[in-house]
Structure formats: C-alpha cells, structure tokens
Structure 1
Amino acid sequence: MNKKLIDIYKDLPFPYQKSNELFWDDEYISKQMLKAHLDKTSNSASRNLKTIIKSTKWILSLNCRKQNPMVLDLGCGPGIYTEQFYNLGCKVTGVDFSKRSITYAKQVANQKGLNIDYLYQDYLTLSLKQVYDIITMIYCDYGVLNLEERKHILTMVYENLVEKGVFVFDVFTKANYLTFKNNVEVTYEEKGFWRNHPYVCIKRNHQYDNHIYLEQYLIVDDQDAQYYNIWNTSFSVEMILEELSQVGFIDVTIYADCTGKKYHKDSETICIVARKK
C-alpha cells in the first residue's frame, strides 16, 4: 500500500483526471451524499429548500409554453427540484448517475403518487427521444466537466430543446475562489464522510491554469488508499458566451443565481438562461 500511496501522491493529476473510485455509487459514501442532499437547511450538496422553491418558480416563469411544460433536470440527485417542478404542473424527467439517489427519488415519487420519469444514467451518454421546453443543470455541475464534455452537453441540450426552449444552468466565478489556496491538510477521523471506520484524509487543493481548480481527497485506512478528485472551473461571462455560441445559443441572459437576482461583477456564481432560437 505504501507504493500505491506514493504513486498517487507524487504527481498532481492532469486537469479533469477522473477519480480511481466512483464515490457517488460507493455503498457508504453515497449514503452520506444523500443525507447531505436531504438536509433542507444546508447548501452542502443541494441548495436549501427555500432557495429551491424560489428557483423552480422563477425558472418556470421563463417558459414560453405556459401550460404543462416538459422539463428535463440533468443531475437531479434525489429529486428535490423535479418534485417542485412537478408540483408546479410540469411534466418532468430527472437524470442522475447515483443509483442511491435515483432509487430514493423513485421511492418518494411512488409514495406520493408523482408521475415523474427518473433515469439512472450518466448524462454524458444520454440519448434522448423527445424535446423539452426547459432543461436544467443546477448547482454548478457544468464546471465539473472538461471542455469537450461541456461542448457535448451543450450540443445535446440544444438539439433536444423546442424552439424558444431554455437551458438554465449555473457556474462559479473567480469571486468564489478568492480565498482558495494551494495547500495540503491532513486529518484523522474515527468515522466520517468518507469511511465508516478510522481513516486519514489528505486533502490537497491546487489551482491550475485556465481557471481550473482541484480538491483532491486521498483516503487512507488500514486496508487501502483511494483518491477522489473533485474538479471545478470558474467562468467569466465572456467565457460562457463563447462556449454557448459555438453550438448555436445566441439568445443568452445572465443572472447572479438561479433565483433571478441581477448579476454584478462580485457575484460568486453566474446563472445562464440560454434560449434556443
């Protein structure tokens, strides 16, 4: 294990390098993620419920087709946004690559009698058979993707929107990373987010060129060492407009967040409403 630990830690991963384990489907970690999603007062995995309710109402107000719009939520998690959209009269599909989250979302929908379509699938390999009035990707998932993946998502979204349909998503800006520093922190946990037994967490932060940020968690227990790379990208308005224009989105409005607040230069996020002509 010592050699594995050295091999992992001796070099920085290349930009957007995948983790060696899919933590969102790990039996234990996925439980912690679901718990964080369902905390209605926290912004750790989803935004708090009050903000989600405000966001879904605002997003729906952007729709040109007023009755029963078709909504697709990419990265829907346990279905918090999808349920709100459904309650507002939408026909909703949610997609997520966490089996635990999708299973939970389906169970809740069945219990409440909600006719929501949930797909357990990676949205990067998604093949859609219908078009939508609104497509969402909320909580800055877009910046986790590399440039090629982002272009793929934008192309797929554009092709599967109705005329005048909208893609609503958000990203971090450089203002969100003003206090981000390249550093290493080592902690010991008897039990925590990453494991149900004692482990050491080596957290490594690193800022790359091209506005790319890494938070790497190297988890070492008495059996093994695993690393989890959490990537993000900060964007300017100009960067976003350029990427959107390359796939045909030219009708774009910028906000500070997904509740429709006015954008300003110190905003930590940008919410983008891209409308298909």
Structure 2
Amino acid sequence: MEYAVSVHDLVKSYGGTRAVDGVSFDVALGETFGLLGANGAGKTTTLECLLGVRRPDAGSAAILGMDPRTQRKELFRRVGVQFQEARYQDKITVDELCRATRALYREADDPARLLARFGLGDVRAQAVESLSGGQRQRLFVVLALIPRPEVVFLDELTTGLDVKARRDVWKLLREMRQQGMTIVLTSHFMDEVEELCDRVAILCAGRIVFSGTVPEAVASGPFGSLEEAYLAYAEPADAADAVEPATPATAGTVATPSTAAALGTPATAESPEGGTRESL
C-alpha cells in the first residue's frame, strides 16, 4: 500500500518532558485521517515535526515519501495547510490575499470558484480583519486548497461555523476525497470525525492510545458513541498533566494558512505578515 503520510517512532522532548513519545501512524493515499486528543496531548508537536517545522529528537516523518525538512521545495506545491488562526497586513482584502496566494503556485485552483463554493463570493472585496470568525475559518480552508494539494492538513476546520455551514464544508471535503485528495484533520467535534474520517488516532500524554476506525473505537470498550470512546482514551481520570508546551506561531508568508508557512518556503509575491497558529 502507498502512503501519503508516514510517521514512525517519533520522539520530541522539551527539557526533560517528552511531548511526543514514540508516535507512529500511516495515512493511505486518498484517506481521511483524524488526529485526535485533548489540548496538550501532543498533536501540535507531532504535526510540526511532520511538516518540518520542528526537528524530532528521534524517529522519522514523511509526506508523499519525502522528508519535509530536506525536500521542502518538492513538497511546497503538493501540500496544503490550514491553520486555525493567522495574522495579515492591515486592510488586505480577501481577493488580494487569494490572488497573492495563487501567484505562488504554477497550477493553482481558481480562488473565485473556491470562494463561491465556500460561501465567500460576496465578501471578496472586504478586509480579512472585518470577517466574522466563521468566514475567516472558511477563508483559511480556501487558502489551503488553492494549490490543488495532494495532501491537505486541516486544523479544527469548522470551529465557529453554524450547523448548515459545517455540513456544507463536510460535503465539499467528501467531494475532494472522492477526487483522490488525502486529508489529515484535527477536530474536537466527534460528529465531524464520524462523518469524515476513515480512521483516527487518539493521543494522550504524547502517545497514541488508540488507532483504528470509528466503529472499532466504539467497539473497543463499553462505549455507546465515539465521544464516549474519545473521552475514555484522551482524558482518562488518571491521565498525566498535559506535556505539550504552548509554542509561538511559525512565521509565514502570504500562503500562511497554506504551505509556505508550514514548509518554510519563501514567498515570491508581495505578502502579508506571517501567519500564526494556536495549539491544535
């Protein structure tokens, strides 16, 4: 089987504390995979090592068979990254940001088409800073999809969206999966995970404590739902304190919610201020 993402025996420590402690998982091409866990469980550090933002102390990580630290240029146009928060130059408009992002890629998707599909066609002329939380979240997903990525990483993609908007985004992601896109997502909404994910891995204190399908998670104990299983695995009563430190955002470019920030590739177009991210 070919894998879009491979992580093996990943270890990352801060001081004497292991934020990631021997994490391993694979994501098949075309699969939708959920990386789950409470705040501080190790998701942020795992994905930062996977995206080449941090150097692991041990283990390996690869995307599309490539090392994200040494093959950033090759990965730049093949991976999209959506972060939960970002900063931009004052007054930059939605249209300006999308056009500048598109200029970074040779075979980019049409931003106007994506904006329309995500219900943002009527705010193209507005400043990004004036958007509502839900509109900003949808914009960040659009920016991650402009490169036509083979693999896209989505961080809490429907936070701040109403019920209809969430389901509209789910529908679009299912369509993208049918077209062969590999999706790696984090979410605290278990209904979203059940709707979208083929498989999940649950992290607790830097270790994967469950890996498998949603039905397998529910069947692994006396659980009536994925939410019950998640709470039992991710937040056990005797769990150690969270070990993952809050880390400052990674500086980025105009494609900050997309690939340039995560893979550290310098932008060639005029760009807004670097993007920032919150802990996953």
Q: State TM-score, norm by structure 2.
A: 0.27
Structure (1/2) with the larger strand percentage: 1
Q: Which has the higher contact order (CA 8 A, sep 6+)?
A: 2
